[in-house]
Amino acid sequence: MNSPSNAVPESAVGRQAFAAAPISPTRPFYWSVRRELWENRYLYVAPLAVAAIFLFGHLIGTMNLPAQLRRLSGVDPEQYREAILQHYDIAAAFLMGTYILVSLFYCADGLHGERRDRSILFWKSLPVSDFTTVLAKASIPFVILPLLTFVTTLVLQFLMLLVSSAVLLASGLSVATLWTHVPVLQMSLLMLYHIVTAHALWPAPVYCWLLLVSGWARRAALVWAALPVIAIAGVERIAFHTGHFASMVGNRLMGSTDMMSVAPKNIFPTDPMTHITPAHFLLSPGLWVGLMLAAAFLGAAVRLRRHQGPV
């Protein structure tokens, strides 16, 4: 039997084993991303709700689909294709707009929310660095939301295609033309490319600027983020009668497609006729200048979080 002087408390042994257990460097980042999804459920509820509403509207609209296709049977094949793709393009546009709005509001509240509800005191007590926390928040508009939008769009358009096919079969019409003109997977991949290039990488400095301001502002972070832009644009307009700065910011926010893809006029970016140009986009100086600004804003946000407390 061990003497009391030689006995080691089980709790001390457990603490030593826990301290000695190696922790993967990616594990804190993984759990930080999951924390963002837990705390901000609107990140995935919003696109799912938009998809559900649009699918319901499509169910109602398919009642007129057989008559519409009969009317279009004698028109130009290009007009026939555009008429079939119209609803699928609108669905992609709605989900894309949802992604942009959710990204903007999330970044504007990314670091401010934890200061407002004072949960920053708890999160700073955990062995997670400020760099990991800020990087996890930045991954939401740059990685998580684009992938979520891609998957949601793919499932939504496939369900729309199945519903349309069922209605056509019930009306005695062939579905071969419909499936030929609606390559769902190709359209969704084109949308993923468009989101990553035009609405994630290109406006990266906008998202990172919002994250930086959210870590500094005591309230109304979105307003504080917009004030410098409005002030600079106003001074330029009064002093030089030009609007280059406002145009540049608007171009960053809305996404310029000129260097990202080539398509016929008035063609939606997810149209199968779109020809992507990733090399031209990656070699664009504007892209790398924007990414350097985004990195500077993120670095400043990390330092700011290190010294900021609850509001």
Is position 11 within any domain? no
Q: Residue 171 domain-assigned?
A: yes
> For residue 52, what pLDDT is reported?
95
**Which range, 27-41, 108-122, 265-279, has the best average confidence (pLDDT)?**
27-41
d(CA 83, CA 90): 12
Identify the three-state secondary structure at position 47: helix
Comparing 304 with 61, which gets the higher pLDDT? 304
Is position 16 within any domain?
no
Residue 238: which domain range? 25-307
Q: Could you give the CA distance from residue 83 to residue 69 in angstroms, rounded to a whole number?
A: 9
Q: Looking at the domain assignment, is residue 71 inside a domain? A: yes
Please tell me the predicted confidence (pLDDT) of residue 13.
Answer: 47
Distances (CA, A) of 18 to 13, 21, 140, 262: 9, 5, 31, 56
Task: List pLDDT tens digits, range 196-233.
Answer: 998 999 999 999 999 999 999 888 888 999 999 899 99
Question: Secondary structure of the chain: what % helix, strand, coil (to 5)?
Answer: 75, 0, 25
Percent of the chain predicted with pLDDT > 70 = 87
Q: Report whether pLDDT(266) > 70.
A: no
pLDDT value of residue 74: 65
Structure tokens at 198: 């035009």
List Cβ<8 Å contacts ≥24 apart for 193-196.
Answer: 193/260, 193/261, 193/276, 193/278, 194/96, 194/255, 194/257, 194/260, 194/261, 194/269, 194/270, 195/96, 195/99, 195/146, 195/149, 195/150, 196/146
Residue 10 lies in a domain: no
Tokens of 197: 């290039």
Tokens for 77, please give them. 């094949």
Domain count, the chain: 1
Q: Given pLDDT bands bounded at 50, 70 and 90, which one contains residue 177?
A: confident
Residue 14: its pLDDT value, please? Answer: 47
7 domain residue, yes or no: no
- Give the whole-angstrom CA distance, residue 201 versus residue 21: 38
Which of 41, 178, 157, 181 shows the shortest CA–CA distance to 95? 157
**Is the Cβ–Cβ distance between 174 and 209 less than 8 Å?**
no
Is residue 36 one of the residues assigned to a domain? Answer: yes
Under the banding of pLDDT at 50, 70 and 90, the label for residue 265 is: low
Confidence of residue 259 (pLDDT cuts 50, 70, 90): low
Is pLDDT above 60 for 154? yes
pLDDT for position 309: 76
What integer pLDDT is reported at residue 20 of this predicted model? 46
The CA R_g of the chain, rounded to the nearest whole Å, is 25
pLDDT bin (cut points 50, 70, 90) of residue 264 is low
Over residues 187-202, mean pLDDT = 90
Contact between 155 and 52 under an 8 Å Cβ cutoff? The reply is no
Task: Let me know: does 198 contact 257? Beta carbons within 8 Å.
Answer: yes
Residue with the two structure tokens 């010294």: 307
What digits encode the pLDDT tens for the residues 11-29? Answer: 554 455 444 455 676 888 9
Mean pLDDT over each residue of the chain, to the nearest integer = 84
- The average pLDDT across 98-124 equals 89
Evaluate whether residue 3 is within a structural domain: no
pLDDT at 143 over 90: yes
